[in-house]
């Protein structure tokens, strides 16, 4: 499973756009990139998943360059409630992939200030 590297922490202010970049140099051809959000004393919550280029949903966008060795989670106009730890995971996780388990890295602790 590909190892991921993220910044340990980031600070932002309400209303700003936040971009969190994750490095995964050893990503395999079958691997997808998935981002999770975790609040204290809660289980992780799925945010977004992608394979290449750009994916957008109602809460975030995910940008993946052509070499797929990194990815950037973009959170538009963050609020105080977006303060959480964000994990980038890489694995064969979707659409019947054989590798079901996901290995969590250290994550990025995002602190949103008023």
Partner 1 sequence: GAVVSQHPSWVICKSGTSVKIECRSLDFQATTMFWYRQFPKQSLMLMATSNEGSKATYEQGVEKDKFLINHASLTLSTLTVTSAHPEDSSFYICSARGGADEKLFFGSGTQLSVL
87 sits near partner 1 (criterion: CB under 8 A): yes
105 sits near partner 1 (criterion: CB under 8 A): yes
- Nearest distance, CB of residue 44 and partner 1, angstroms: 5
Nearer Cβ to partner 1 (43/114)? 43
Answer for which of 29, 66, 81, 95 binds partner 1 (CB under 8 A) is 95
Alpha-carbon torsion (65, 67, 71, 72), positive or negative = negative
Residues 31-70 vs partner 1: string with x where CB under 8 A?
---x-x----xxxxxx--x---------------------
Query: 19 in helix, strand or coil?
Result: strand
96 sits near partner 1 (criterion: CB under 8 A): yes
| DSSP code string of 43-78 | --EEEEEESSEEEE-SS-EEEE-TT-SEEEEEESS-
Q: How far is CA 52 from CA 13, 60, 101, in A?
A: 29, 15, 21
């Amino acid at each position: 499973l590909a190892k991921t590297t993220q910044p340990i922490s980031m600070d932002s202010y309400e209303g700003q756009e936040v971009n969190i970049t994750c490095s995964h140099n050893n990503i395999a051809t079958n691997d997808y990139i998935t981002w999770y959000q975790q609040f204290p004393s809660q289980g992780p919550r799925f945010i977004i998943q992608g394979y290449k280029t750009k994916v957008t949903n109602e809460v975030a966008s995910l940008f993946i360059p052509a070499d797929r060795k990194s990815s950037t989670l973009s959170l538009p106009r963050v609020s105080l409630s977006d303060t959480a730890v964000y994990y980038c995971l890489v694995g064969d996780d979707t659409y019947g992939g054989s590798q079901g388990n996901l290995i969590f890295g250290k994550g990025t602790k995002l602190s949103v200030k008023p």
